[in-house]
Amino acid sequence: MQEPTPQKPINNSPQTVRLPIVISLTLAAGMLMGAVFFSGGKSLTDTAKGYAKFREVLMLVENNYVDSVNTDELVDYSIQKMLEKLDPHTSYFVAEEATAARSQLESGFDGIGVEFNVYNDTVYVVSPLSGGPSETVGIQSGDRLLKVNGEVLSGPGASNAKVFKLLRGKRGTEVKILVGRSSLKEPMVFDIVRDRIPTYSVDAAYMVDEEIGYLKVSRFSETTYEEFKTAMASLKSQGLKKLILDLRSNPGGYMERATSIADELISGNKLLVYTEGKDTRYNRKTNAKFKGMFEEGPIVVLANEGSASASEILAGALQDHDRALVVGRRTFGKGLVQMPIKLNDGSELRLTISRYYTPSGRSIQKPYELGKGEDYNKDLKERFDSGEYFSADSIKFDPKLRFQTDGGRAVYGGGGIMPDVFVPRDTSMNSKFLFELYAKNILREYALRYVNDHQKALDKQDFNQFLKKFTVTDAMLKDLVQDAKKAGIKPKDDDLARSKSLILAQTKGYIGRYHYGRQRKDGLNNEIFQVLNPTDNVFQEAMRQFGKAADLERGDFSSLNVVKEK
């Protein structure tokens, strides 16, 4: 009898090894964790059975499976896949990921500065972090990160750990990212230079004129409330009577920081937010407690589709109490509360434990189906495709989710905060050439070089003189275009004409930021906002709406828009 032919060693990929057992692991993990967190009417016997089955499967795999496997990796994978069957915001981080994720809010880090969400093997941008490299080059909410330095991010290998590993790195190093955008047929390549992502969360606080102050909050981190109070004290000392509070592209953060700021703006002991969960331990109400810094005076809040979570809590409280006029576009619509649970090995489960509700009783959480996170993450693309970014007429709310503000105005749940005054996205100056300038960092690099070459001339004037008198000349624009050509960007005359005024404004803004802003020690980037806000259609609309904001404070709602119902 002929001897059997020796077989070659099997070197299965981790994905191949996972397939035969992932279903068993997922089911077992689901039974175990479900019993622990949602035991409600279930007995401890069910928990014990789940634990026993999970342990049994793990032991069988460890001792009998044909190939050597990393059991810890399989457990992590099974948990992650199980959680995909829940809501889109419940998530699991291995120890390394948990540390990296916390640094977004607790301390600075080196990277490209982007808030992202991984779902169903796709990496979606929630929002670029204000002041970070991604925002500078033009990364937008809703973009899909496809490749990093040629390595594919999408597909079975997509994970939080992989994204953190590829995006973070030593400041000054460059990363090439392939990005998909709903408004473009072809992906774009962005060259992003990693930098220190600022720990500051109040980006700007300056007086627009003798009465109007502008304050931008980019996220709600550990220090946000203290930064806010410092900024407000400075504005009040300069004569603040009216406030523009910019929450655009603020992805959220700590709820308590948002409610503390709301308390500074809302009088009495009014309700600010409340939460309700299946377990009554997670039901809580947060009310205003003390005399705030700015409880009287018109407020205009700026919001858009990148405003999420804690920023929606703040905007919702101000809107429900008729304390502020909301201007811009419909917010993201995240009304679920996650509790971070640190596990024994350093990993972290962020478990959705409750929904939060604005004072009027509305949940602003946009619709989702369990296990359909991919559809959920495509919502921003669907908004673009439906024309919502450009016309409020396409936005319809369910009449069953109609609520009232303190003064009886209609507000709606189930889909974010609808602004009182809608402002379409301004794409009139967008062009392929402009996007390529962003992607290759041409504007920022030109401005930095200009500042280095003209420091003495810039030193002869203060920032207010620079703001009023400095212009980016045609000769400077010609030099900038030459830089673009050297980088392989060939501008079309039509594109250049269309984007010229925005290119000039942003170049001036960067020059102001790099020369005058580097002398600051408060983390504010006032200079670039002071240059660019006059070209911003949402900001300009806010300036025109203080009459309505004053009417709102007096209880006169006759001038406000009416939201259409389905």
**Residues assigned a catalytic role:** 309, 320, 334
Q: What is the SS3 string spanning 300-355? A: EEEECCCCCCHHHHHHHHHHHCCCCEEEECCCCCCCEEEEEEECCCCCEEEEEEEE
For 286, the enclosing helix (H) or strand (E) is strand 284-287
**What six digits make up the tokens of 63?**
């001792």
Nearest in space to 542 (alpha carbons), one of 283, 295, 242: 242
Classify residue 293 by its DSSP letter: S
User: What does 60-73 look like in DSSP terms, one character per residue?
Assistant: HHHHH-SS---HHH
Distance CA 336, CA 370 (A): 13
Nearest 5°: phi and psi at 45?
A: -60, -40
Distance CA 308, CA 220 (A): 11
Nearest in space to 255 (alpha carbons), one of 358, 177, 179: 358
Query: Alpha helices of 365-521 — where are they, by DSSP H?
Result: 373-377, 379-386, 432-439, 442-453, 455-459, 463-469, 474-486, 493-516
Extended strands (E) in 120-252? 122-128, 144-148, 151-152, 174-180, 188-193, 195-197, 202-207, 212-217, 242-246
Distance CA 287, CA 264 (A): 12
Is the distance from CB of 456 to CB of 363 less than 8 angstroms?
no
CA distances from 370 to 83, 88, 144, 270 (A): 10, 8, 22, 34
Nearest in space to 113 (alpha carbons), one of 194, 220, 204: 194
Nearest in space to 174 (alpha carbons), one of 149, 146, 196, 154: 149
Nearest in space to 327 (alpha carbons), one of 299, 302, 364: 302
Distance CA 156, CA 441 (A): 31
The number of beta carbons lying within 10 Å of the beta carbon of residue 301 is 29
Is the distance from CB of 243 to CB of 300 less than 8 angstroms?
yes
Distance CA 81, CA 30 (A): 10
The number of beta carbons lying within 10 Å of the beta carbon of residue 348 is 20
